[in-house]
């Protein structure tokens, strides 16, 4: 055999010592093996995600052929894949998480109240999620001082699902007050429930959360400023607007 330290190997790379750890043999049987590969330089998020998807597609084709021979299922691995794998299914996870959150809130409100209140609550929550995504995108588009924008990843999806839960504070008090109001017309009932709960929602929920979130605006971590300060401000502003302006109009 040609040693890896030999001049021939160093100059031409024809020695086999560098591949010694690529095959594990026990009792004259190959127990595990790996094939190394090199990628072209990847410098964008799209190229990283595309390379991972294409490599996994190739491996799936190989897996289909190797199953008939009783071989262990192969897999593709590189350092960057640990992070970028989430982007292959993050949108489906986001949609699933949002639907589950809305479904849970709908069920709880339905048990504690009635079908109309639960349905209105679900509609407002869907409007909340869509509006937060739109406002976060618009903020990133208009913020010329910050070249980074909020993307769909594990952190933003968690915040978006949490927004469904936080939206209960903005909507449920008004819906409950409207249901319990004994005034005449729907417009009068909407006006009465806003007189009873509007100030509490504006001062006790909207303003207090905004004040608490201002601390995140000066955080040294870019992650906290982008995915927590910016997203939570969007959640509070959208929730306050939908709860204090849009929902009363719908009820009236």
Each residue's pLDDT tens digit, 124-134: 999 999 999 99
Is the separation of the CB atoms in 75 and 55 below 8 Å?
no
- Look at 58-72, 85-99, 129-143 and tell me which has the smallest mean pLDDT: 58-72
Question: Between the CA of residue 57 and those of 23, 73, 79, 161, what are the distances in Å?
Answer: 24, 13, 18, 30
| Buried/exposed 199-216: b ≥16 CB within 10 Å, e otherwise | eebeeebbeebeeebeeb
pLDDT of 9 over the 90 cut: no
Which pLDDT score is estimated for 141?
Answer: 81
Is the separation of the CB atoms in 183 and 251 below 8 Å?
no
Sequence-distant (6+) residues with CB within 8 A of 152 are: 87, 90, 91, 94
Which pLDDT score is estimated for 147?
Answer: 66
Rounded CA-CA distance 199/173 in Å is 11
- Look at 71-85, 159-173, 195-209, 223-237 and tell me which has the smallest mean pLDDT: 71-85
- Classified as helix, coil or strand, 29 is strand
pLDDT of 205 over the 80 cut: yes
pLDDT of 69 over the 70 cut: no
Rounded CA-CA distance 104/154 in Å is 21
pTM value?
0.75
């Amino acid at each position: 055999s040609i040693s890896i330290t030999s001049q021939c190997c160093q100059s031409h790379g024809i020695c086999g010592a560098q591949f010694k750890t690529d095959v594990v043999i026990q009792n004259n049987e190959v127990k595990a093996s790996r094939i190394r590969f090199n990628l072209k330089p990847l410098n964008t998020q799209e190229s990283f995600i595309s390379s991972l998807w294409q490599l996994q597609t190739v491996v799936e084709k190989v897996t289909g052929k190797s199953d008939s021979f009783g071989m262990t299922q192969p897999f593709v691995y590189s350092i960057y894949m640990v992070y970028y794998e989430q982007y292959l299914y993050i949108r489906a996870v986001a949609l699933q998480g949002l639907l589950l959150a809305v479904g849970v809130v709908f069920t709880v409100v339905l048990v504690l109240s009635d079908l109309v209140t639960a349905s209105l609550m679900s509609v407002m929550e869907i409007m909340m999620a869509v509006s937060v995504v739109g406002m976060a995108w618009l903020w990133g588009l208009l913020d010329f001082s910050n070249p980074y924008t909020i993307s769909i990843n594990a952190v933003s999806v968690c915040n978006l699902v949490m927004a469904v839960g936080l939206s209960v504070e903005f909507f449920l008090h008004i819906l409950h007050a409207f249901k319990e109001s004994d005034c005449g017309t729907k417009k009068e009932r909407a006006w009465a429930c806003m007189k009873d709960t509007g100030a509490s929602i504006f001062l006790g929920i909207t303003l207090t959360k905004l004040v608490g979130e201002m601390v995140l605006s000066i955080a040294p971590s870019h992650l906290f400023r982008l995915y927590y300060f910016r997203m939570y401000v969007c959640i509070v502003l959208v929730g306050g607007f939908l709860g204090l302006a849009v929902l009363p109009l719908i009820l009236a």
